């Protein structure tokens, strides 16, 4: 199968996932479909089987009558100590860290991709594990209030509220302070959008405009009501030197949106492009 045919089939598969109700989405499958957008050698089914094998391996030493605390400690230890999953701090901004199949192969990644391992194994084992859209550093929550544990998926460390406050100051600055909604559970589409945000940031820095565009298009499929993605799509066309398509995208946005901030961004970009040559990158 040639590259373009595979990309087309993969996009169709992602489109079919994006229209599902959030609770009908298989998060690990959807994350692997995203990874397949940027890799030719991925086998999604093998990666899903790897997750199922990991769950079975844990079950061989898991006491099903143990309380949640014992189960949590055991699964965290299994993931990080027994199987060696850890953060790739030496090459943090490598896009491979966001591809679930590569994380399963290398046992290293970033918080949100490692969180996928926790969540996927939890689902298979009947242990409640959810993603937490904490600012700048994705977290996971085991259990439900009041019996819950917040875990840093980068290290496997169980965090207190004071630990979370320290983490926030480290990533967002010394004046940042904890807000209750920082601990809200992230739904499946939120997690997928955040994975794509990470990839988009990496590709944008590399000036990989086609890959950036693919991320934005998938985000639009997931969250068509998030208007910022349409403005970002116009920016990608602009960076590619397709001034006409950028102008069409911005003008369409101005006709349809009532978001004053984003309208100003689109309007300013149109003004900046006035008289621009289509060869500008």
Query: In the chain, what percentage of residues exceed pLDDT 70?
Result: 94
Token digits for 243? 């001034």
pLDDT, position 238: 95
Residue 144 has pLDDT above 90, yes or no: no
Average model confidence (pLDDT) across the chain: 92
Sheet holding 157-159, edge to edge: 129-132, 139-144, 147-152, 157-159
State the Cα angle at 130 between 129 and 132, rounded to 5°: 140
| Residue-level pLDDT at 5 | 85
The 10s digit of each residue's pLDDT in 245-267 is: 999 999 999 999 999 999 999 99
Average pLDDT of the segment spanning 101-121:
98
| pLDDT tens figures, 117-140 | 999 999 999 889 999 999 999 999
- Mean pLDDT for the stretch of residues 1-5: 79
Listed range (142-146, 151-155, 170-174, 184-188) with the worst mean pLDDT: 142-146
Identify the CA nearest to 71 among candidates 158, 5, 152, 161. 158
CATH top-level class for 3-183? alpha beta
* Pairing status of strand 147-152 against strand 157-159: antiparallel
Query: What's the Cα-to-Cα distance from 270 to each of 7, 217, 238, 250, 273, rounded to whole Å?
Result: 31, 21, 10, 7, 5
CB atoms within 10 A of CB 245: 16
Mean pLDDT of 60-65: 67
Q: What percentage of the chain exceeds 90 in pLDDT?
A: 84
Is the pLDDT reported for residue 103 higher than 60?
A: yes
pLDDT digits (tens, 9 = 90+) for 17-39: 999 999 999 999 999 999 999 99
Report d(CA 245, CA 133) in Å as an integer: 34
Lookup: tokens for 80: 């990080």
pLDDT, average across residues 57-67: 72
For residue 99, what are the contacts with CB-CB under 8 A and spacing of at least 6?
34, 35, 38, 39, 42, 113
Q: Is the pLDDT of residue 280 over 50?
A: no
The pLDDT value recorded for residue 279 is 35
Cα dist. 80→49, 95, 115, 253 in Å?
Answer: 19, 21, 12, 46
Q: What is the mean pLDDT of residues 163-188?
A: 95
Identify the pLDDT of residue 92.
94
Residue 244 has pLDDT above 50, yes or no: yes
| Model pLDDT for residues 213-236, shown as the tens digit of each residue | 999 999 999 999 999 999 999 999
pLDDT for the residue numbered 277 = 45
Residue 267 CB burial class (10 angstroms; 0-12, 13-18, ≥19): middle
pTM: 0.92
What mean pLDDT comes out for the span 76-99? 96
Mean pLDDT lowest among 51-55, 143-147, 236-240: 143-147
Are the beta carbons of 207 and 236 closer than 8 angstroms? no
Backbone dihedral angles phi then psi of residue 84, each to the nearest 5 degrees: 75, 20
In contact, 239 and 200? CB cutoff 8 Å:
no
Q: For the chain, what are the domain ranges?
A: 3-183, 227-273
């Amino acid at each position: 199968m040639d590259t373009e045919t595979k990309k087309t089939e993969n996009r169709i598969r992602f489109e079919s996932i994006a229209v599902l109700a959030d609770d009908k989405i298989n998060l690990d499958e959807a994350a692997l479909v995203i990874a397949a957008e940027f890799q030719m050698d991925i086998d999604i089914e093998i990666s899903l089987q790897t997750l199922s094998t990991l769950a079975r391996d844990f079950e061989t030493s898991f006491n099903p009558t143990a309380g949640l605390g014992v189960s949590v400690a055991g699964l965290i230890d299994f993931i990080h100590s027994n199987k060696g999953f850890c953060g790739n701090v030496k090459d943090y901004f490598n896009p491979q860290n966001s591809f679930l199949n590569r994380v399963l192969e290398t046992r290293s990644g970033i918080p949100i991709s490692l969180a996928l391992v926790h969540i996927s194994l939890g689902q298979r084992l009947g242990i409640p594990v959810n993603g937490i859209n904490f600012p700048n550093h994705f977290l996971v929550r085991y259990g439900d209030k009041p019996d819950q544990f917040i875990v840093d998926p980068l290290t496997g460390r169980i965090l207190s509220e004071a630990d979370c406050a320290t983490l926030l100051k480290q990533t967002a600055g010394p004046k940042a302070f904890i807000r209750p909604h920082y601990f809200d559970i992230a739904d499946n589409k939120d997690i997928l959008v955040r994975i794509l945000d990470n990839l988009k940031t990496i590709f944008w820095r590399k000036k990989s405009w086609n890959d950036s565009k693919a991320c934005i298009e998938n985000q639009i499929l997931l969250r068509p009501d998030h208007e910022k993605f349409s403005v970002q799509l116009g920016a990608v066309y602009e960076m590619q030197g397709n001034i006409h398509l950028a102008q069409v995208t911005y003008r369409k946005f101005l006709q349809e949106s009532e978001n004053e901030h984003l309208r100003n961004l689109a309007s300013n970009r149109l003004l900046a492009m006035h008289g621009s040559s289509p060869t500008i990158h």
